[in-house]
Amino acid sequence: MFQAIYRTIWRALALGRSSGSEYELQAQLAQMRMTPGYTASDIPPPTNFPIKCHPKADQVCAELDEYFYRNWPWKDEAQGKQFLQSETNRWACLALPNAWDSRIVDSVRVNTLLFLLDETMTFAEGKELYKRLTPLALGKALPNRTDPLEWMTYDIWKSMRAIDAEMTEVVWQGALLCIMAQVDEARMKCPDMGSLLKHREKEAGIAFVAGVLRFAQRIRLTPSEVSLMSPFFTLYSVHGVTVNDILSYEKEVRLYEETKAEGAFILNMTQAFSNDTGLPQRASKRVLWILIREWEIIWADKAKELRAKGISKALGEYLTGMEYVLGGNEWWSWRTKRYQRKQLADWAG
């Protein structure tokens, strides 16, 4: 409706109409004034992406919650219990609802491994830690069985290679890109939204997540098919990191105030958008949610165009799989106690 009204107004202004047309213009403006104006709401429109959980999620989460809780070198018991409460393993069950039953455990486990490694290391420790663990992940060195970081890294990647060496290499290459972005000093020089988005595209781990998706569903693609997904990789990155940054913002502020671990500023899209626009953080979140939904519309349009050209079954499964990853990520991010949200939006269900 508004578009039609605006078109009438601009046509009238451009053509310099007579007094009779001016009356028509005034009537249109009056109609706009009678229409209720914008009212701020912290409840965003629901996502357009599908949401589904793997049918064996409860079984897988019970197994891997115990595995990581029993073996990971938590700094104290409270940290281990916090991990259980955050339901980290369920993230991958939501992201990979169509994973093969024979591959879901390894797919979830490698995701949680990288998540915990990122949580465990400080920025300064990152490069040294991954330098030590890389040969173990590649099976080129044997682990110290008294060091959980070493033997868990070795065992998890070994198990994946035994199932599918080719796809495991795809996952590893993606993990490496994610790791390098996380320990890149350039991430400390991204105070504005534009530069932060560009860096977070690498840090978001799209290559890693996409690799895990291919491993989980045994999706073989040609190089040309992978290249067709390039615009979707970019959309995945900006969508995923922005959702997480909105919902984790209060947690990051609290950690920043306690430790100043990230340096002189908070590396979060909410903060960057607020800095760029002058909007308060709460208003910045509302605007970012609309931006997220616009990215979803762009995704849907591009996906429709791609499918209309005729694509292979494997590429179709890959595209659908990425949509489930984004839907699952948002569902989990609203609910996890990791972000310690006091309540959920009603629409989240």
Helices (H), the chain: 2-15, 19-34, 57-71, 77-86, 88-95, 104-120, 126-137, 148-163, 165-182, 193-203, 206-217, 223-228, 230-247, 249-259, 269-277, 281-308, 313-335
pLDDT, tens only, 221-242: 999 999 999 999 999 999 999 9
Residues 6+ apart with CB under 8 A from 22: 12
Question: Between 347 and 78, whose confidence is greater?
Answer: 78
Check residue 349 and give its pLDDT.
39
Q: Looking at residue 134, what is its pLDDT? A: 92
Q: What local confidence, expressed as pLDDT, does residue 203 receive?
A: 62
pLDDT for 7 beyond 70: no
- Residue 15, pLDDT above cutoff 50: no
Q: Is the pLDDT of residue 261 over 70?
A: no
Answer yes or no: is pLDDT of 304 > 70. yes
Classify residue 5 by burial, with Cβ atoms within 10 Å: 0-12, 13-18, 19+. middle
Q: What is the structure's pLDDT at 155?
A: 98
Angle (deg, nearest 10), helices 165-182 and 206-217: 160
For residue 120, pLDDT beyond 80: no
pLDDT tens column, 158-178: 999 999 999 999 999 999 888
Q: What distance in Å separates the CA atoms of residue 71 and residue 277, rounded to the nearest whole number?
A: 45
pLDDT in tens, 272-282: 999 999 999 99
Residue 265: per-residue pLDDT: 60
pLDDT per position as a tens digit, 208-222: 999 999 999 999 999
Q: Is the pLDDT of residue 344 over 60?
A: no
pLDDT tens-digit profile of 26-83?
Answer: 776 676 666 667 788 899 999 999 999 999 999 999 999 999 999 999 999 999 999 9
Residues 138-160, mean pLDDT to the nearest whole number: 97
Report CA 340 to chain centroid distance, whole Å. Answer: 18
Contact 83, 119 (CB under 8 A): no
Q: Are 65 and 178 in contact (CB under 8 A)?
A: no
The token pair that represents 90 in the structure block: 């369920």
What pLDDT shows up at residue 33? 66
**4: pLDDT strictly greater than 60:** no
How high is the pLDDT of residue 32? 63
Is the CB of residue 93 less than 8 Å from the CB of residue 60? yes
Mean pLDDT score, 1-25 = 49
